[in-house]
Structure 1
Amino acid sequence: MKILHIANFAFNKLGERYYSIDRKISAGLIENGHFVYDYSFRDMARMGTIFKTKKLGSGVANNEVLKIVENLCPELVLIGHSDLLKKETLQTIRKNYPSIKIGFWFVDWLCEQSKANFIREFAPYVDAIFCTTGGRLLTQFKLPNNKIGYIPNIAQKSIEELQQFNKDFFLRDFIFFGTVYKDPDREVFLTHLVQSLGENFHCFGAFDNKAVYGHK
């Protein structure tokens, strides 16, 4: 297939997010014989105005998506974490190119209402929704016109190349990379781990500990 993959490829991060899920998905699709055209929505939105802000440039990026669909004629439009993509853009693709399939993936926990809201807006216009959250938080997006499915967090052999399971000695027993911002349940859980595991547990990005990205 020819696939248009609209996601957040984070070109502006200069390689520190090279292991992101969007890149893994594109790499896997290419390995399976498909052509993938990556469109980094937030980056292109920032480039759309002299102010370099993604919200102001979102209209430009939405118009570019329609132009790419016209030029590329993809069999599949795959969308991930593009909250500034407008439902009207999907409506136009549906109307003008009824044979194109549209899929949507999401890899953050769906506890925040704001995250669920924009997925709910997309739901009537996509053929399939894939999330790393299951249960009732996923089934809320099920409509007669779409399919929904749980997916695990994806690993890609060219990125996750370390083989820690072959080691006999470890500097750290358990690590966490991420934040607790606006997530009280996660903060309570991590606090419990810190108290239980002590020096055997290391956080990066939470509890005033500096985050690490890229090769580090």
Structure 2
Amino acid sequence: MNNLRILHCANFSTFKNGEAYYSMDRKISHGFIQNGHMVYEFSYRDIAKAQRFLGLKKRSIEKMNKDLVDHCINIRPNILLLGKCELVSLESLEKIKKLLPDIKIIQWYVDFINKENNDFFSKFKYIDVFLQTTGTGLLELSKKYKNTIFSYIPNITDPNFDVNIDIKKEYDVLYIARDHKEDNRYKFALLLNEFCKKENINLKMYGSLGNPYVFGNDYYKEISKARIAINFNREDLIDTYNHNKILGTSDRMNHFIGSKTCTFSPKIIDLDKLYKDNEHVVYFESSKECFEKLLKILNDESYNNIASDGQLKAYEISNSKRVTNYMLNLINNNEIDENIEWKDYVFYDGKKI
């Protein structure tokens, strides 16, 4: 399929003035453009919000859905590409499929699917390919929704977005999280803070333990100032690793790797198929092991080589062009390239493809 028209309905955060220009939404659009296709971006939340009158949220959502259908009529896209799209109704997808019977619908997803309601799952009736940034649960979904291809995709690291800023290293360790004092991220932050004080390690935190958040280009500046950055997500555990978590991690980890900063992560099942331990990233099975490895790597200064090799690997395997080309191969029913690192996590009708 060459010279495709793609209508990308996602949360582009238009009114945040570029704070999150490095989001998956932008990277995915960028990848399809790199592959030679036209991408029209439809920022569904912004459009709904802009049309809200007298606080009537329901009416503005209805108007946004009508606008989406009208956009499809006017643009006649080959592919409707959906992000989370919780405001896009089942009825809208049904109308679009009836009006454009040859259209393909792809959905990509980066949140926690087990928290979604029935409205979310009902849309699989019209979705041809569903991609998520974790391998957990894909086989089970494919058994239940037999007409949809389910696949893992990695969070994207792209040299046009995720870059190292040439700036002096100021921090030994960087930790960024939104913990809200409610989960293991908060507990981990407390332990990390205590450990770094005890060992005289220069720790910088954002978004945790009352520290402010950081966005935009300043976000990459702060990452570039760190020798080591730790990625720790809400489903990660303190004393062991999550044995039910497959391939999944936040896109923050890929921001760290792409910025050529040595990246620490809890052990995640099969993520070493993408990034090797002590070569591209550093994995740990508990907070205790994390802190032991911090001391070792800060002392032997191997963080520089790990950071460089990790960045090169991420640019090679998870760049925008490669990931979106993989999406197109799925929608075209092409054979999966044997070199795809996550090829074991593609399912259809309850079977691995």
Q: Answer whether TM exceeds 0.5 for this pair.
A: yes
For residues 34-49 of structure 1, what are the structure 2 equivalents within 5 Å?
34-49=37-52
Distance 1:194 1:139 in 2: 39
Distance 1:12 1:86 in 2: 23
Counterpart of 1:130, as a letter, is: L
Match of 1:94 among 75, 93, 97: 97
Q: What residue in structure 2 maps to residue 154 of structure 1? A: 156
Tell me the secondary structure at the aligned position of residue 39 of structure 2.
strand
Counterpart of 2:156, as a letter, is: I
Unaligned ranges ≥5, structure 2? 219-353
Q: What residue in structure 2 maps to residue 132 of structure 1? A: 133
| Cα offsets for 1:25-49 (capped at 9, x unmatched) | 1011101100000000001001122
* Structure-2 change in CA distance of 1:130 and 1:48 (3 Å): same
The Cα shift of 1:72 comes to 0.7
Whether contact under 8 Å (2:10, 2:41) holds in the other structure is yes
For residues 1-216 of structure 1, what are the structure 2 equivalents within 5 Å?
1-51=4-54, 55-110=58-113, 113-114=115-116, 117-136=118-137, 138-142=138-142, 143-162=145-164, 170-181=169-180, 184-198=183-197, 199-216=201-218
Distance 2:181 2:64 in 1: 28
* Structure-2 change in CA distance of 1:178 and 1:124 (3 Å): farther
Tell me the secondary structure at the aligned position of residue 8 of structure 2.
strand
Comparing 147-156 and 177-186, the one that deviates more: 177-186
Name which structure has the greater RCO, CA cutoff 8 Å, separation 6+.
Answer: 2
Q: What residue in structure 1 maps to residue 253 of structure 2? A: none
Distance 2:202 2:101 in 1: 54
* Structure-2 change in CA distance of 1:53 and 1:33 (3 Å): farther
The Cα shift of 1:161 comes to 2.4
Whether contact under 8 Å (1:102, 1:127) holds in the other structure is yes
* Structure-2 change in CA distance of 1:182 and 1:44 (3 Å): farther
| Cα offsets for 1:57-114 (capped at 9, x unmatched) | 1111100000011011111000002211111111112222221000111122445x23
Q: What residue in structure 1 maps to residue 231 of structure 2? A: none
Counterpart of 1:157, as a letter, is: P
Comparing 195-204 and 40-49, the one that deviates more: 195-204
TM-score (norm 1): 0.85
Q: CA RMSD in A?
A: 2.5
Distance 1:55 1:173 in 2: 48
| Cα offsets for 1:3-23 (capped at 9, x unmatched) | 000000111111111111101
Distance 1:162 1:107 in 2: 24
Counterpart of 1:93, as a letter, is: I
* Structure-2 change in CA distance of 1:134 and 1:27 (3 Å): same
Distance 1:182 1:90 in 2: 38
Whether contact under 8 Å (1:45, 1:53) holds in the other structure is no
| Cα offsets for 1:133-158 (capped at 9, x unmatched) | 2222x444321110111111112221
Whether contact under 8 Å (1:132, 1:153) holds in the other structure is yes
How many positions carry a matched residue from both structures? Answer: 210
Distance 1:162 1:190 in 2: 25
Q: Larger C-alpha radius of gyration, 1 or 2?
A: 2
Comparing 15-24 and 50-59, the one that deviates more: 50-59
* Structure-2 change in CA distance of 1:88 and 1:176 (3 Å): farther
* Structure-2 change in CA distance of 1:17 and 1:53 (3 Å): farther
The Cα shift of 1:172 comes to 2.3
After TM superposition, the runs of 4+ consecutive aligned structure 1 residues lying more than 6 A away are none
Tell me the secondary structure at the aligned position of residue 215 of structure 1.
helix
Comparing 14-23 and 28-37, the one that deviates more: 14-23
Counterpart of 1:150, as a letter, is: Y
Distance 1:124 1:26 in 2: 24
Tell me the secondary structure at the aligned position of residue 216 of structure 2.
coil
